[in-house]
Amino acid sequence: MASLSVLKFSWLLMLSLLLNSISGLLLSPNRKIKLGKFPPACTRIECPSYDVIYDAKAYEIRRYNNTVWMSTTNIDDISFVSATRTGFLQLFDYIQGKNKDEKKIEMTAPVITQVTPSDGPFCKSSFVVSFYVPKLYQPNPPPANGLHAQKWEPVYTAARQFDGFVSDDEIGQEAAALYASLAGSRWADAINKTGSSDPTSSYIVAQYNSPFEYDNRVNEIWMTFNM
Ligand SMILES: *[C@@H]1O[C@H](CO)[C@@H](O)[C@H](O)[C@H]1NC(C)=O
Ligand SMILES: *[C@@H]1O[C@H](CO)[C@@H](O)[C@H](O)[C@H]1NC(C)=O
């Protein structure tokens, strides 16, 4: 009898080790990386340059000088993830050559999604998804149907990093955390004055990795303002 229970025990142990290693694999996409650094993706692909104006533990204040993005029109959706996918597919076609100049354009990072509350009766939010135009095309991005160039002439942003795959539930929490960490700082006033809407429902989500990268994923919440 004793040997039987030992046998059972070892089976359970093996099973639990097996399950552990499977869940370890499944959890690896969200493996924590040390945040608060230049996104690793930007060592491989082109990213906009910026100046760090102020470095706090929970956030960073950056200035983006003249920066051109290619942007979708408003996408109304209840889901950030679904709207970003819709927008990204348009931008992906764009860089693959579906533009007036039939230019193939290198992938860059980040892809940013501007989130604002929607006026519509059924939709919670409105989203604009944008691609950072590589320096080569910044002065003159190839036009395309359904997309427009968006030019930032010095835009300041408070940025908070988080890792893993971005989920619908998480972005509101991250935005609220950024806003809370800005409270009482000299940037809070400027952020409050930018637009009339609530900064915790109007913000940008920046994603630096493709959906196929599982490690070292870096995302940011941005709240932009003018000085
Ligand atoms: C942005 O512009 C300022 C003022 O002209 C300049 O000092 C700074 O080096 C520029 N930063 C970048 C990243 O180009
Ligand atoms: C920004 O607005 C919020 C909400 O109205 C307010 O509680 C906060 O004190 C404001 N912060 C500054 C710095 O004006």
Q: What distance in angstroms lies between residue 20's CA and the mean position of ligand 1's atoms?
A: 50
Nearest to 94 by CA among 53, 130, 57, 58: 130
For a substitution probing ligand 2, which of 192, 196, 225 has the most ligand atoms within 8 Å of its CB?
192
As a whole number of angstroms, the distance between CA 2 and CA 218 comes to 52
Ligand nearest to the CA of 62: 1
Closest CA to ligand 1's atom 3: 65
- Tell me which ligand sits closest to the C-alpha of residue 196: 2
Q: pLDDT tier at 26 (50, 70, 90 boundaries)?
A: very low
Per the prediction, the chain carries an average pLDDT of: 85
Which residue, by CA, sits nearest to atom 7 of ligand 2? 183
Q: Is residue 215 in contact with ligand 2, taking CB distance under 6 Å? A: no
Share of the chain above pLDDT 90, in %: 68
Q: Is the pLDDT of residue 222 over 90?
A: yes
Short-list 121, 129, 111, CA closest to 75: 129
Cβ–ligand 1 distance for 189 under 6 Å, the answer no
Burial class (CB in 10 A: 0-12, 13-18, 19+), 223: buried
Q: Sorting pLDDT into bands at 50, 70 and 90, what band is 196?
A: low
Nearest Cα neighbor of 131 from 207, 201, 42 is: 207
Q: Which atom of ligand 1 is nearest to the CA of 51?
A: 13
Q: Give the model's pLDDT for residue 182.
A: 95
Lowest-confidence pick of 151-155, 178-182, 191-195, 215-219:
191-195
pLDDT digits (tens, 9 = 90+) for 80-113: 999 999 999 999 999 999 999 999 999 999 999 9
**Measured between alpha carbons, how far is 52 from 157 in angstroms, rounded to an integer?**
10
- 101 pocket-lining for ligand 2 (C-beta < 6 Å): no
Average pLDDT over residues 35-54: 88
User: 195 pLDDT band (50/70/90 cuts)?
Assistant: low
Lowest mean pLDDT segment, chosen from 31-35, 84-88, 98-102, 121-125: 31-35
| DSSP assignments along 177-196, one per residue | HHHHHHTTSTTHHHHHHSSS
pTM to 2 decimals? 0.84
168 near 79, Cβ under 8 Å? Answer: yes
- Closest residue (by CA) to atom 9 of ligand 1? 51
Give the relative orientation of helices 80-95 and 168-182 as an angle to the nearest 10 degrees.
100
CATH, domain range 4-225: 3.20.80.10
Residue type, 135: K
Cis bond leading into 110, ω under 30°?
Answer: yes
Q: Identify the pLDDT of residue 30.
A: 43
Going by alpha carbons, the residue nearest to atom 2 of ligand 1 is 65
C-beta of 65 in contact with ligand 1 (< 6 A): yes
CA 66 / ligand 1 centre spacing (Å): 9
pLDDT at position 7 over 60? no
To which residue do tokens 């290693």 refer? 21
- pLDDT at position 36: 66
Gap between the Cα atoms of 134 and 69, Å rounded? 9
221 and 204 in contact (C-beta within 8 Å)?
yes
* pLDDT at residue 166 tops 50: yes
Cβ(51) – ligand 1 distance below 6 Å = yes
Q: Check residue 12 and give its pLDDT.
A: 43
- 189 CA: nearest ligand 2 atom: 13
Q: Where are the domains of the chain?
A: 4-225
Whether the predicted pLDDT of 79 surpasses 50: yes
Two tokens, residue 103: 């230019």
| Region 209-216 average pLDDT | 87
Helical residues (DSSP H) of the chain, grouped into ranges: 2-27, 80-95, 168-182, 188-193
pLDDT value at position 2?
47
Gyration radius of the chain's alpha carbons: 21
Residue 141 has pLDDT above 60, yes or no: yes
